[in-house]
Structure 1
């Protein structure tokens, strides 16, 4: 008896392989998902508000080991000029010789060269020569379009592969080796081959460790064993099956342990939990947990019944009809007539695909031979597809029919169906793919077409519909002879990266007539719920294969009306858009290196290697209609009543091992307190869904297809790679910036910010001042989305440098050339270059992907990936671009002396030195008091941030950085911090080959505690406001008493008596909230002071006169959210110098009460009830933070009258080229500010 019927995977054998776990919403009946208690992020977090607080990684395998003596000696044997970092096992994490080779003159195949290199240097890995020869070959793949190869090897313990670590990658070209990267663990013996724990207790242990505490042994039942050796385990209350398989897990504390590799999955409603955990098979201890959710995943391994398909690259669909067509009617209670099939004598198999015109209807069909059933097809889906075996082969006298029936007498009109069938004289089963159909008749005629936005709709204006300017995407080669008119096609798909049209089932060669194919399966997830069993996922279907549902922009024009969230909100257009986007992104990244052996997300790998059964599962408008309110991380600053719904303002990607389908959840966007998003659909924003898809790409490419990125720096690069590739994808196809957004913004459509979108900074290198010394700059402290922007700045600097290096030969503005380079095909479909002959940006993105393939360690640092990119250039060009790349890295703090202990290092050592010494200046910094001329002890930073950043030089002595430092020639924005002198900015330019002394004259900060100033007021930690440090803050908390922020004040008794003050500086930059301090509101993005009055007294504080009244937007935090560049230090030049002994700062507004974007927006009444938008109605309106108040001047003996209030002059926000002018304009008063907009996903 058939019960709840989840819709669908792909037709035919694919459905059998995937239906149990890819689309299924439940594995057992239980009222509520077991992990609902996990808290969700508020607006102060490093991600979208409403997303779950990350589970995070945890590693209990033991301490880091010192480098192995034999490995150290082996590295020394390479001589000078090598760059090496060490992994936790004491073997090289990355070993390269920038600008050169590690070895030359080796013979044999790439694998032979790699093994020969390692065998003669086996001590590098702590192995014997025999152990090297026994390493398992994972893959030997080319750098795309180049003879260079990447050879990935893995350690094994008998029949068990090492898990997570034990990988070694060698970059080979001919007989030369450019790089070695590894997580090699040395010689270890497995503790046992017999587990004490079985799969069920291992799953229980992993689930408990991941926060699922409600499961007991009785809630788990064993399922099947899949092709990859995973034992499936069904868990009551969890939305997907769990997985467990035995592996050998290396540790530094207890050797090599037999362990269960367990996938814990619960992806339902607006929630997403996915973790890969390793449970000791003897003790039951969770030794390692890796969070597999990347915020802005289910599946099974390949079925033995899946067949390989080999089509010539670029082959178009055949134009000769094969088989026959079907059409007819049924009713809600009766079957169709038995329709005759034309079956030639000798036929051994018949493949049939039938789709209901009303795709919501569920149908079954039966194929009969002489009245006897030979196929009863019911794969929980419409369309249905299946293959009938005809044995003995068909005779001329046989009569074959097909009958279509409704499932369980259900369905609604219309009851028409269409279909096709293909006969074959080959037996059914692997290798028996029938010819691709291209059948006569309008119902089934190929090729498929889709309507999708190239980048996104026009940026939304509240209540005004964006036009439907979608492009027509055609699944055909340009110029192909087909029955459909292709003249209106804007985009043609080629068949190199995807051998079949996007809507074809690779197991049968037949169309699915739905948003289901080999690379992606995309469905309506509006009703996704944390209750189980949940409703079915529903793809969009078209019996004519013309996928063009209407787009009316009703979510925007209805102003987020929740009545639109069940079947409305243009969800069908969103499904098709996401399906097309995932397929095009698959093809774009396939051409750059994510192929079948390296982990491509595909149902069928066509015999090219790698694990199958893992298409990208796309959930459009996830939980839009079932989004519950959530409990925020900090109920004081983000109360439940003010922040709304889990099915909003989010996007995520879940990536597990190769062969396990990835899941991406796309959400509707809606304004809530503190996050002023427009009413839009994130699934229509290419920079959002491409960003998420690329998480799957990078997690598969780095460290092989099974181990995902781990560690803060690796995670930050993962976020950045997703940003970078999403922007490059749009740039390559001339789609960026075509809908009112800046072409280098990420998430502009989803956030309503056309310049910056979801980040701190636009991706243009001249608009992003961050560098490796800025690590932890954001108000969150070290956090992957924020610190990924350091990698953004670095990579976009390299991109720009390569573009300029090749501009004279390859015009980056030539859109036809850019597209040909991205496709590897010119406009006529002929092969074209993807590297040589292309603009510099194509070189850059190619190196970017090459570096990921070359990295065998799942926890690389930014320094490691720099070395890997330089090795990629050696492999491709013999080092043609070495200097360009290396100098670009140096300009962003990743120069010759940069270092990081490991990926968890959030205080890395920056270096701005080029490896070419002649290109550096040897700079000595001298800090002096501008009044007395005496030396000052302080720190010099490069960039705009001091809090949590690392100085490049100091005059502090001791173990601190020296005052003399090599800097690559160029212009710098310097920030000096010194006790008693606050923070002051200076521009500087240094020439190559010079050794200057750079003297920076600092005005005293007379409002500094280090100068003797004191502060009073009824606030909290107000002494932090006068400590010369943006890493601390003070404030006022009136939430308990309902005291508004307006009028809250602090008074500073200045140092040294009467003082002549020419300028003041104020900061509202937050610090991370302290989880150990109850009620700590320091991290609240909405709480920073926005507008204030400054009053002065020259009589000891008895009388005050207002000397400066700030603009209302002094700190210009606005939509979608207040961000660090809006809040850090800004300087005011007073209208005239003021002589005072006391200053008083009086708050007028904070971000919550003063920023119009957070004061409530016009939204549908029902939506406002569910998720209010007016911050002023929350406790945020009674709390305010102030980070720094600094006053610059000198002690005086006279007491002239205080100048009355005046507008004054504020240093203007500046970025890039503007910085020098802005800083120069305020140099005499000691400080300026560089402010830009930012946000992150």
Structure 2
């Protein structure tokens, strides 16, 4: 059993009355003289204390009292009229009805006040409650409470006997809906009306009886000094508070006993409610009214309104095995008091700055350590009003919730091994190693005041900054709001989304724990950082029963289907070879989804093997143990090996084969390779070490119209093509061998002249070598197959229309940006002469956009027309790409085949861009337009690589000081700034500190690379350092590479028209720029 540190509630009349269940009225004083001490009792108390904290009830049931006779019959009558699913429970002490509920309401609607409705319902069958009709009418109304927002009233009645209220029994609670229907009943009534015994002791004698039991040896001469809420009040004497005594009736199965109810406050940490017999002073009931309680708060396990974990509940903030000091520092913060501050977390508002934790106020404060606040969601109610009230109204519940989640996660990870010596986040490490002083700072509503329109830098996001062990990290939870054509979600407070909070906290885990800490500097490592973060949030959500689908961020995005990611993780099809698949190109969040999906598969496989609880526990331990066993700046494969090592270490390799199988199915098999963690074109493989568990398929690809083999075709086990890594390419005979672990995969083929085609249900069976011939229909619209772009109404210099017919979605056709929204202007179009006249039966379209473009510029609606002569046109198909809010994603815009209603003979095809995804975007982009059909013989497509292009110049001076102060790389320097602002080629400052190269047409397709080499003067005392920046036709930045190397090389981002070579260090450096075709 855990040893817990208990917190004592602040003492006072309100606390005592709250524990007793009855509010105290304002105190009144009297001029009567003090009641003398009874002569039968000495003023020195000598009784024995005993177990004072234990609740004592002399009615403890040894044999239940069962209902009989009229009571039983009356309850049966109520059940008959209550409707479907009616069920009753009994009070074992009294043999009366304890609770009555049904699937619906217990009665029909009726008029009248809730009190009248409730009383009338009780009077309809009084025997069910052990009462007479007269007793029902004599019930006293103790409370008539309206439930906020529902109109339902909970009416509380109390039985009275000889004018005294019942105590510790005799309560009846009837819930009445706004239309007068009775919803439910719960109570504890006692039969009988004749009082047993009499009030003989007197109030003073009762108080002394209680004091003699609870404070033996203490001299006490109580003096009556007034009344309050029906109690006689007495001087406190040597004790911490006054005494309170009143006459009550104590219900028992044999009738109500005349008794006294006494509140006795011995000290700030010791106070009791005691009911004593009115004649003998014997204790009938005793309970402590000081809640030796841990600090607590009202929190949401998941998020407000979630199907699971969506209701507020009270959570202890006290000591746990992982946090023996408890979650709240009861000494409080200097100048503040007890607040959301403890050994693991420090949580407060950060309204004016979302980057750094500068606003250490305001914050919740509670002298009792009870942070119980109702959440009213004012940010949504005011529709994003940025001036308080609004979000500020909910600071206290938001801070409480974030504080809870941070502490909960601390304890979860501590149990998995992220302890003091692992670099966890704690102020005091208790001598257990590591560096203390680094409790996580939780920044609530970060940037609420400063991060909104027009920049929105403090909206629709969250972040975690992790420094070295001993330096506090901080995590900022933003407000979320809809931003047109950017992020079209609801108004939400990120401090209430468990998955987002745990995602961010986990960045601290991975940054501190992987490979000894501070070792996630590579692109794949950064992606895994995102992936681990999602996985741990999902793992907790499933373990706690909060989630039934693996979705992250559904609350803040308002998307219950896939949340903030591209998929529900059960539906994620990506593999190790898909790095760079997303609309943004290689990007840590999108590529991190590959890692999460793989780890989620691992968890599911272990759950299938061991069952839900053990399987999930094994998975969490393997993933966590694998972190410190992983190489620094790791690739996916390094982290895979860390998990394999963890399994060997903890589970003696029992799960090794299973782990290999999971990773192999995601392309991280034994033959996979990655040059470094920065490799964005790794080699995927789908095999496992055990040869018998693999199967092979010998593929042969042929042209469906000629029978010719198709060489140099990319074979991809997956659904994506643009920027992904192929498994293998076909040889000159059109052959390729696929080796994989048993499974069924989507097989995608991309080849010049054939576009991109996906074959479903490609199966591999362990131990079998099979052969498969695939006939591919030519892409009639492919320029590689002989199609020609005849005309285009609008095209950007860096993204010409021909890029829509080059068999790949890696390049895009973009219209020129207009002065108004594209959807308000004309529908741009492109006309292509097909490779051969044919009967067109389908078009295949990719709505991908350039990696640097807005996703809301992507194609939405389109129209396809065909013609035999290029003059007379017929509309043969319309279609559209939709998306789920808050934004279009890769699966929304990926290749889709649109069949024509009727196959149509055509020699020409015209494609209209009817609309784009966003209402404010001023240009349109389409990645690929392909056409398929029959009735024509089309030879294999051919691509002639572009000849290398070179450019030379001299850079006079360096410019290391210029740059973007936020740390985000940008165009900078004299030459770069001029080009970026004036966009005139060549710039007047050409050669000052930068050299601008204009690329030949066609080099902006994303399939070319550039390298720059500098030559310093022979007498130079230092060398040189060159950086590369890429600009589109409007001279906006499309990408950059700026490493510590003297010279640079990089792929040219799609849409690039200009390459800026910038001199970071050196002088009078000659530069040689060379761009080449990667095909």
With the shorter chain as reference, the TM-score category is 0.5 to 0.7
Which structure has the greater CA radius of gyration?
2
Residue 704 of structure 1 pairs with residue 516 of structure 2: yes
- Pick from 871, 875, 893: which aligns with 1:1106? 875
Whole-angstrom CA distance in 1 between matches of 2:479 and 2:894: 31
Contact residue 866 and residue 876 of structure 2 kept, 8 A: yes
Provide Cα deviations, 1:598-631, integer angstroms capped at 9, x if missing partner: 11100001111100000000010012122364xx
Name the SS of the counterpart of 1:893 in structure 2.
coil
* 1:842 pairs with one of 603, 617, 625: 617
Distance in 1 (CA, whole Å) between partners of 2:585 and 2:364 is 43
Match of 1:762 in 2: 568
1:503 aligns with 328
Report the Cα distance in structure 1 between the residues aligned to 2:786 and 2:605, rounded to whole angstroms.
49
**1:696-845 alignment runs, 5 A limit:** 696-705=508-517, 707-737=518-548, 743-764=549-570, 767-806=571-610, 810=611, 812=612, 818=613, 838=614, 840-845=615-620
- Which residue among 916, 927, 941 is the counterpart of 2:690? 916
| SS in structure 2 of the partner of residue 1150 of structure 1 | coil
Q: 1:438 to 1:698 in 2, by over 3 A?
A: farther
Give the Å deviation of 1:646: 2.1
Do the aligned residues in 2 keep the contact of 1:618 with 1:663 (CA within 8 Å)? yes
Q: Which runs of 5+ in 2 are unaligned?
A: 15-239, 241-266, 272-288, 938-1079
Superimposed CA distance per residue, residues 575-595 of structure 1 (whole angstroms, 9 cap, x where no aligned partner): 000000000000011111110
SS at match of 1:884: helix
2:662 is the alignment partner of 1:662: no
Q: CA deviation at 1:911?
A: 0.7
Paired residues for 1:854-893 under 5 Å = 854-855=629-630, 857-893=631-667
Equivalences for residues 1030-1109 of structure 1 within 5 A = 1030-1040=809-819, 1044=824, 1046-1056=826-836, 1058-1073=837-852, 1083-1099=853-869, 1101-1109=870-878
Match of 2:931 among 1191, 1204, 1218: 1191
Q: Secondary structure at 2:623's aligned position in 1?
A: helix
Find the residue that maps to 1:1024 and give its secondary structure: helix
1:184-221 deviations in whole A, cap 9, x for unaligned?
xxxxxxxxxxxxxxxxxxxxxxxxxxxxxxxxxxxxxx
Measure how far apart 1:671 and its partner are.
0.5
Aligned-pair distance for 1:440? Answer: 4.3
Write the distance in 2 (CA, Å) between the matches of 1:566 and 1:537: 17
What SS does the aligned partner of 2:685 have? coil
How do residues 18-33 of structure 1 correspond to structure 2 at under 5 angstroms? none
Q: Deviations over 1:356-397 (max 9, x none)?
A: xxxxxxxxxxxxxxxxxxxxxxxxxxxxxxxxxxxxxxxxxx
Corresponding residue for 2:722?
947
3-state DSSP of counterpart to 2:621: helix
Alignment of structure 1 residues 35-46 onto 2, 5 Å:
none
> 5 Å matches for 1:296-307?
none
The superposition leaves residues 1095-1114 of structure 1 with CA deviations (integer Å, 9 ceiling, x where unpaired) of 11112x1110111122xxx2
Aligned to 1:1029: 808
**Aligned mates of 1:757, 1:957 — CA distance in 2:** 45
User: Normalized against structure 2, the TM-score is what?
Assistant: 0.58
Contact 1:448 1:474 in 2 (8 A): yes
**Structure 2 equivalent of residue 606 of structure 1:** 430
Q: How many residues align?
A: 661
Distance in 2 (CA, whole Å) between partners of 1:1196 and 1:609 is 75
Q: What secondary structure is seen at the aligned counterpart in 2 of 1:1106?
A: strand
**CA distance in structure 1 between the aligned counterparts of 2:648 and 2:694, rounded to whole angstroms:** 23
Q: Could you tell me which of 341, 345, 352 is aligned with 1:516? A: 341
Distance 1:544 1:1103, change over 3 A: same
8 Å Cα contact 1:444-1:543 kept in structure 2: no
**Aligned runs of 1:69-218 on 2, under 5 Å?**
none
Mapped to 1, the partners of 2:902 and 2:523 lie a distance apart of 48
What's the offset of the Cα at 1:467? Answer: 12
Contact 2:697 2:738 in 1 (8 A): yes
Mapped pair 1:470 → 2:316: no
Residue of structure 2 equivalent to 1:457? 304
Q: Distance in 2 between matches of 1:570 and 1:728?
A: 29
Q: Distance in 2 between matches of 1:531 and 1:575?
A: 17
CA contact (8 A) 1:894 1:910 kept: yes
Question: Hey, what's the Cα distance between the residues in 1 that align with 2:735 and 2:270?
Answer: 78
Alignment gaps of 5+ in structure 1: 1-312, 328-419, 421-436, 461-465, 477-493, 630-639, 738-742, 813-817, 819-837, 1074-1082, 1153-1175, 1198-1241
Q: Is 1:645 the counterpart of 2:456 in the alignment?
A: yes
Q: Deviations over 1:145-179 (max 9, x none)?
A: xxxxxxxxxxxxxxxxxxxxxxxxxxxxxxxxxxx
Provide the secondary structure at the position in 2 that maps to 1:559.
coil
2:900 is the counterpart of 1:1122: no
Q: State whether residues 1090 and 1151 of structure 1, in contact with CA within 8 Å, keep that contact through their aligned partners in structure 2.
A: yes
Q: Distance in 2 between matches of 1:905 and 1:867?
A: 17
- TM-score, length basis structure 1: 0.51
Cα distance in 2 between the residues matched to 1:799 and 1:685:
23
Match of 2:912 in 1: 1146
Partner Cα separation in structure 2 for residue 1030 and residue 793 of structure 1: 24
- Following TM superposition, by how much is the alpha carbon of 1:508 offset from its aligned partner in structure 2, in angstroms? 12
Give the Cα–Cα distance (whole angstroms) in 2 for the partners of residues 324 and 547 of structure 1: 17
| C-alpha distance after superposition, 1:270-311 (max 9, x if no partner) | xxxxxxxxxxxxxxxxxxxxxxxxxxxxxxxxxxxxxxxxxx
Q: 1:977 to 1:512 in 2, by over 3 A?
A: same
1:1011 partnered with 2:785: yes
Output one character per residue of 1:128-155: Cα deviation in whole Å (capped at 9) or x when no partner: xxxxxxxxxxxxxxxxxxxxxxxxxxxx
The match for 2:490 among 675, 678, 686 is 678
Contact 2:332 2:338 in 1 (8 A): no
Distance 1:576 1:758 in 2: 24
How far the C-alpha of 1:562 sits from its partner, in A, is 2.2
**For the structure 1 residues 874 and 1060, does the alpha-carbon distance in structure 2 shift closer, same or farther, using more than 3 Å as the test?**
same
Inter-partner Cα distance in structure 2 for 1:685 and 1:889:
30
CA distance in 1, matches of 2:354, 2:765: 61
CA distance in 2, matches of 1:759, 1:1122: 11
SS in structure 1 opposite 2:745?
A: strand
Q: Contact 2:705–2:936 (CA<8 Å) still a contact in 1?
A: no
Instruction: Identify which of structures 1 and 2 has the higher relative contact order when contacts are C-alpha pairs closer than 8 Å and 6+ apart.
Output: 1
**Conserved? CA contact 1:1027–1:1188, under 8 Å:** yes
Instruction: Determine if the alignment matches structure 1 residue 317 to structure 2 residue 5.
Output: yes
- Relative distance call for 1:1127 and 1:530 in structure 2 (3 A) is closer
* 2:100 alignment partner in structure 1: none
By how many angstroms is 1:531 displaced? 11
Distance in 2 (CA, whole Å) between partners of 1:1052 and 1:453 is 57
CA distance in structure 1 between the partners assigned to 2:309 and 2:742 by the alignment: 49
In structure 1, C-alpha distance between the alignment counterparts of 2:333 and 2:874, rounded to whole Å: 83
- Residues 1:979 and 2:752 aligned together: yes
Structure 1 vs Structure 2 CA RMSD: 3.1
Q: CA deviation at 1:853?
A: 2.0
The answer to whether the aligner puts 1:1133 opposite 2:945 as a matched pair is no
Deviations 1:537-567 (A, max 9, x none): 2221112221111211222122212234676
Q: CA deviation at 1:985?
A: 0.9
Report the alpha carbon displacement of residue 703 of structure 1 after superposing the two structures with TM: 2.5
Q: Deviations over 1:719-754 (max 9, x none)?
A: 0000000111111111225xxxxx311000000101
Could you list the structure 1 runs, at least 4 aligned residues long, displaced by more than 6 angstroms after superposition. 321-327, 441-444, 506-511, 529-532
Tell me the distance in 2 between the aligned counterparts of 1:1031 and 1:1107: 27
Change (3 A) 1:1046 1:1066: farther
Quote the residue 2:989 is aligned against. none
What displacement does 1:931 show?
Answer: 2.0
Secondary structure at the aligned position of 2:740 is classed as strand
